[in-house]
Amino acid sequence: MLNTPWDTGSPLYRKLVVSALILTGVGILLAVAGAMLQADQLVFAAIPIIVAGLAAHLSGLVVRGRDARRRHRPPSGR
């Protein structure tokens, strides 16, 4: 069996990854819809949503790194 980040990740990591995917996807859809409708307000409103998705993704990377360090840390007391 492969040890993928999804398999070994904590519930917080999984929530952050799903949130990042949803936020980024919604932001991209809004930006594309705004471009097709030539509605600049919709395109500019999509930018903070995409940024929030990227921030959630970066937070997930931090949580994943923290979890990996905890997993590979030697047991205390030795």
Question: How do the domains of the chain map onto residue ranges?
Answer: 11-70
- Residue 73's pLDDT band (boundaries 50, 70, 90)? confident
- Residue 2's pLDDT band (boundaries 50, 70, 90)? low
Burial of 46 (0-12, 13-18, 19+ CB in 10 A): buried
Q: Enter the pTM of the model.
A: 0.83
Each residue's pLDDT tens digit, 19-60: 999 999 999 999 999 999 999 999 999 999 999 999 999 999
- Structure tokens belonging to residue 20: 């990042």
77 pLDDT exceeds 90? no
Decide if 23 contacts 56 (C-beta within 8 A).
yes
CA distance 41 to 66: 39
Burial of 40 (0-12, 13-18, 19+ CB in 10 A): exposed
